[in-house]
Amino acid sequence: MKTISRFAVLASVAAVAPAQSGPAPARLSSTAIRSPADLYGPLFQAVQQGHVFADGKTFVDAIPKRAADAIMADYAQAKPEGPALKAFILANFIVPGENDRGSGDLRSHVRTLWPQLVRQPAAPVAGSSALPLPAPYVVPGGRFREIYYWDSYFTMLGLKVDGQQPLVETMLDDFTSLIERYGHIPNGTRTYYLSRSQPPYYAMMLDLSTNTDPAVAKRRLAALRAEHAFWMKGETCVAGKPACLRVVRMPDGSVLNRYYDDRDTPRDESYAEDVATAAKAAPRPAADTQRNLRAGAESGWDFSSRWLRDPQSLTTIHTTDIVPVDLNSLLWVMERRIAARCQSAGDTPCATAFTTMATKRKTAIDRYLWQATTARYADWDLSTRKPTASINAAMLEPLFVGLASPAQAKAVAATVRRSLIAEGGLRTTTLKTGQQWDEPNGWAPLQWVAIAGLDANDEPALAKDIARRWIGTVGAAYAETGKMLEKYNIEQRTPGGGGEYPVQDGFGWTNGVASAILDRYPDLARPAG
């Protein structure tokens, strides 16, 4: 059966349209133009009377794939009913919301999505929760109507390779502005997100810039140092304590960091859920539970067995006890980038100070977070003074930022092969808990960290294998739904599940990582549909 595209239908209409020059054509009577009811008669009545589609407007907006007479001849012969009638319609029409998904290749589809996700700066309405931004930016999509911190780094990867460098620069201006106004980059641009940040990728975002203006470089360096000060503010109060704010004191006196939140109340955006979780956790103080829920949200992994004493119970969340390997890897690279930028600016004391900080952090990471006996990086539990048992994708962050030694990278790669490779990509953890940052969900940012980290550490075959599996998952879902999703079930290659809200489409970081992967491995591109 030959398919007639929408463009072909439009072209055929244009071909028979009267020319615009010469005498005006005679006006046609409304009754002379055949509507779907006229064209499809008994088929139309069967579809509408049988409520084949929930909305009566659906079928009448459908586009035939071939001539109406041919469709009706087949209908008269087959006389389909029930499910067979719907199958007949879908075989013969492009039906809005049913089978009108994109038919182009995945990367072309992503390029068409970028304009839909761009938002322009606007002054917030008095009394609203929105925080203003000075320049255009990209939102994730779905329920996420504002810019988000760590999402944006992975979105920007795709913008860069898709020829959207101006958006990369304006988003950097937005993040710089946020640090200048609030002292840090909040979780997202809402007032209710100001008490926490997210995984600090600003230093790595700056690597994506092509701006060489010295004044811009000076402003960005100042912002980067201010962000570092935000994460290290607890150094002034950690003496004699295991932790203060986002700073922790390790058993040997060295300093690492944790996720935290400046508030200990229910999250505005998940108020009822947090109240219910805290009530179930009683007699544990509600404020303690709520602080840890908020800290889990700062991690970006909200929520995961990484943060739970009992992997099957959210009421046991204790994020603030955990020293995460991904956070400390990102702070190490932040310190390294500050040192390099200070050196370029001729500020030798600054360069020396931050080089020393980075060296001390790496020593502490190697001592406490590197686990040679189990061939992995692990989070550290302050309450037990031991590494956690969680095997998860965060172990790849040291490879991604360039912190791991060749031997460490090789060992991590072996663990990834053994425990984290699924049919459709890289597992988040190895535990199925119902939380969205656990098995069986896979997430775009974790795939990219693994792919880029492994490729940079002499594991190109494993990196490409993960890329192939992930693009297969994203491509299969796109072919089925016409959408780019926030998360995926990588065991079954279906939309993901779990968490506090339905799976979202849009979707910023999935788009960005898909473009980045296909730019790196163009042979993985396949037409969808």
Active site residues: 302, 486
User: Looking at the chain, how many residues does it have?
Assistant: 529
Instruction: Locate all alpha helices (DSSP H) within 259-401, ordered by sequence.
Output: 271-281, 286-298, 325-344, 348-364, 397-401
What is the rounded CA–CA span in Å between residue 280 and residue 291?
A: 15
Task: Identify whether the C-beta of residue 493 lies closer than 8 Å to the C-beta of residue 476.
Answer: yes
- The phi and psi torsions of 72 (rounded to 5 degrees) equal -70, -35
CB 380 within 8 A of CB 391: no
Asked if 160 and 114 count as a contact pair (C-beta separation under 8 A), the reply is no
Convert 133-192 into a string of H (helix), E (strand) and C (coil).
CCCCEECCECCECCCEHHHHHHHHHHHHHCCCHHHHHHHHHHHHHHHHHHCCCCCECEHH
Write out the two tokens for 177: 């502005």
Whether the CB-CB separation of 505 and 485 falls below 8 Å is answered with yes
d(CA 355, CA 163): 34
Residue with tokens 């473009």: 515
Q: Which of these, 429, 460, 459, lies nearest to 442 by C-alpha position?
A: 429
Q: Which residues contact 465 (CB under 8 A, 6 or more apart)?
A: 421
Which secondary structure element, helix H or strand E, spans residue 514, and what is its range? helix 508-520
Strand 243-244 versus strand 137-138 pairing type: unpaired
